A = this chain, B = another copy of it.
Amino acid sequence: MAKDKKLVEAITSMEEDFAQWYTDVVKKAELITYSSVKGCMIIRPAGYAIWENIQQELDRRFKETGVENVYMPMFIPESLLEKEKDHVEGFAPEVAWVTHGGLNELQERLCIRPTSETLFCDFYKDIVQSYRDLPKVYNQWCSVVRWEKETRPFLRSREFLWQEGHTAHATAEEAEERTVQMLNLYADFCEEVLAMPVVRGQKTEKEKFAGAEATYTIEALMHDGKALQSGTSHNFGNGFAKAFGIQYTDRDNQLQYVYQTSWGMTTRLIGAIIMVHGDDSGLVLPPRVAPVQVMVIPVQQQKEGVLDTARDVCERLGKVCRAKLDASEKSPGWKFSEQEMRGIPVRVELGPRDIAEGKCVVVRRDTREKIEVALQELETKIPELLETIQKEMFERAKAHRDAHIWDAHDYEELKGIAAEKTGFVRGMWCGEEACEDKIKEEFAMTSRCMPFHDQERIAETCVCCGKPAHKLVYWGKAY
């Protein structure tokens, strides 16, 4: 029994040290291992399978909106990166440089893509000639590199996996429509699949993407009250098109610049899942994204008929959900701890007495609730239960999020909230970067977004400087 508890005891509690708890979960649930390259991680099968489910579901949703996948080179020549002024300023300080190919020094050094706007622009310049060639709605799944100083598994690493969509349109309106469409797709995906409520909104000038006219974002609240930017969608207007010379002939035979967007989501989402749903026993995965949804665990498996019945149950469940059998030699208690640590949404406990009575014990990972279910009803009850868990996990996360949104009407109130509370702070903003800087400096909070669906005027004046203010901003400490 001492051995059974070891797996769990090794985790720091969330309340005690959230950062350490996070690291413990990431390692103990075998999501990642550190590699011999500083700041780069190895994504292990349990972690990568989550990413595969995210990919599959996002890709399906993308394609429904007409997205086509492509693959661009991982290298960007230095001269190409430099073509758009704001963009290069934003990224040049944090890229990795290739200077040698084989035994020879390169004539021009190449950076490893931190993002691929410049490559797509160079490509679109060649393949877009006429209005008939538009729109181009391309995406790629790949890894990118940003030479970060401080790294944390999934949240910030020197190499990470993502998708980056890049589109070109005939009109500004169409580009804006696509930018918003993809942000909403991201938000729906987070809420429906990851059971993670998000605030949809626009970034301020200070926080927007290097080279963009407007950046839209979804912001989620982690269990420790910090915000996590979970997906962004950028409208570039025709700025990049002008820098790269991407023009098309319109129906009136006039040369026009295209309007562009880009949008991305990353393996950071796995970090979000951990920090929104996890608990002191480890990971808690929403059923829709869980690689294994049900773990069947036999009790007293050496007794006649137990393993056979467990196999049969697992096979039947396999037809209605992603089920797995743990028939290893470990003790049931150890298996329970492992299943909990790995966040598998449901376990089915099955011993000789259960079998004799034609039932089993079903345990929810999220609430620990135990339910007796007749063996013959498993195929209907388990999928229902998975749906219930999915729904309730979202509701709980939303209730937690909503309970951690505070309104600050003036500076004093902001100061009080910053000192006593965690979560999002809603506060009016005058539009000056100086106020953003001050709030960041004083309270380590940044403007997360100006929400789309919530432009209530909670005050007439800026929460920082007291001047007239029209914009409601969500402020928060962020990862």
A residues lining the B interface (CB < 8 Å): 33, 35-37, 40-45, 48-49, 51-52, 68-77, 80, 93-103, 110, 112, 119, 122-123, 126-127, 138, 142-143, 145, 147, 158-159, 161
A159 near B74: Cβ-Cβ < 8 Å: yes
* Least CB separation from A123: chain B residue: B42
Smallest Cβ distance from A416 to chain B, in angstroms?
A: 39
Q: Across the two chains, which residue of chain B brings its CB closest to A102? A: B147
Q: How far is the CA of A93 from the CA of B104 in the complex (A)?
A: 9
When distances are taken between beta carbons in the complex, the residues of chain B under 8 Å from A52 are: 69
Contact partner, A48, options B37, B48, B71, Cβ 8 Å = B71
Contact status A99-B97, CB under 8 Å:
yes
- Chain B nearest CB from A19 CB (Å) reads 23
Q: Select which of B43, B44, B77, B93 is within 8 A of A37 by beta carbon.
A: B77
Other-chain residue from B48, B68, B94, B122 in contact with A70 (beta carbon distance below 8 A): B48
- Each complex incorporates copies of this chain amounting to 2
**Which residues of B lie under 8 Å from residue A80 when comparing CB positions?**
36
Chain B residue numbers with a CB within 8 Å of A51 are 71
- The answer to whether A75 and B37 touch across the interface, beta carbons within 8 angstroms, is yes
Instruction: Determine the chain B residues whose CB is within 8 A of the CB of A33 once the complex forms.
Output: 123, 126-127
Q: Within the assembled complex, what's the spacing in Å between the Cα atoms of A35 and B123?
A: 7
B40 x A69 contact (CB < 8 A): no
CA distance A112 to B102 in the complex (A): 11
> Are A103 and B93 in contact, with the CB atoms below 8 A?
yes
| A138 partner residues in chain B, CB cutoff 8 A | 45
Chain B residues with Cβ below 8 Å from A143 are: 71, 74, 142
Complex Cα–Cα for A112 and B71 (A):
18
Rounded to whole angstroms, the CA-CA distance of A344 and B70 in the bound complex is 19
By beta carbon, the residue of chain B nearest A161 is B71
The residue in chain B whose Cβ has the minimal distance to the Cβ of A68 is B45
B102 touches A99 (CB 8 A): no
Bound complex: CA A68 to CA B77 (Å): 35
A–B pairs, 5, beta carbons within 8 Å: A42-B71, A93-B103, A99-B99, A99-B100, A142-B143
A95 to B106, CA, bound (A): 12
How many whole Å from A277's CB to the nearest CB in chain B? 22
A97 near B100: Cβ-Cβ < 8 Å: yes
| Chain B residue at minimum C-beta to C-beta distance from A126 | B33
Name the B residues within 8 Å of A96 (CB-CB).
98, 100-102, 110
The docked-state distance in angstroms from the alpha carbon of A161 to that of B69 is 14
Which residues of chain B are within 8 angstroms of A35 by Cβ–Cβ distance?
72-73, 119, 122-123
